[in-house]
Structure 1
Amino acid sequence: MSNVTPFPRSPSGAPGAPTQTGFDRIELSRIMDLYGRMVSAGQWRDYAIDLNRDVAIFSAFRRTAERPEYRIEKRPALRHRQGMWALIGENGAVLRRGQELAGILAPVERRLVKLID
């Protein structure tokens, strides 16, 4: 019991700096809820999550071998400027950027709405 394991520090050495950016439980459940509805509608078939030091990315694919149809990016460093959330299309263009996740997911959720006579 005399072995002390040091707590991992960030690469920059600052004690409070995070080593990676991630989605919290509420954000991830909101994204996965949308993903589940898109899968049941037959729009998406696969996803990928990439967690880096500066950005967390959720990518949704129509087919596994293609480029992602949408990427949802979280960049906390931009939260006071452009907004930390971004919706990026298949061609790499930023479709939406903002402070709230709900506003970023709105264009994708609109695709699920079908008119009924």
Structure 2
Amino acid sequence: MPTPFPREVPAQVAFHRSELGIILSLYGRMVAAGEWRDYGISHLRDVAVFSVFRRTAEHPLYRIEKRPALRNRQGLYAVIGMDGQVLKRGHDLKAVLRVLERKLIRPVD
């Protein structure tokens, strides 16, 4: 039986302020370390993407994605490398971003 109300168009997926705080904290540390220089944010129907660039006019080094459709399966968040490979996926944003924080740890000579 058809529903009497028309289907609602799914809203855009966006990062919450607390999620952006976590991401921008890492971004600031990576900029200070000289690793990253620019970023872009995209809010689409099924995914929100925070892209990180070394230079402005190139492909992103990493994409941090939020996909609510995967919340109950592989995890809401993912870090994807330049080549499209999923580096880390999970339910906790801080845990997923740890894969990028390893770049900040450098051996002391």
TM-score by length of 1: 0.83
Report what 1:13 is aligned to. Answer: 7
How far apart, in 2, do the equivalents of 1:13 and 1:47 lie? Answer: 35
Q: Which of the residues 1, 14, 28 maps onto 2:20?
A: 28
Q: Which of the residues 85, 91, 104 maps onto 2:83?
A: 91
After TM superposition, what 4+ stretches of structure 1 lie above 2 angstroms from structure 2? 114-117
What is the CA-CA distance between 1:47 and the residue it aligns to?
A: 0.2
What is the CA-CA distance between 1:76 and the residue it aligns to?
A: 0.5
How far apart, in 1, do the equivalents of 2:75 and 2:46 lie? Answer: 14
Q: Give the structure, 1 or 2, with the largest relative contact order (CA under 8 Å, sep 6 or more).
A: 2
How far apart, in 1, do the equivalents of 2:11 and 2:93 lie? Answer: 23
How far apart, in 2, do the equivalents of 1:20 and 1:32 lie? Answer: 21
1:75 matched to 2:44: no
- The answer for unaligned runs of 5 or more in structure 2 is 1-5
TM-score by length of 2: 0.89
Paired residue total: 104
Q: Percent identity?
A: 58
- The answer for unaligned runs of 5 or more in structure 1 is 1-11
Structure number with larger C-alpha Rg: 1
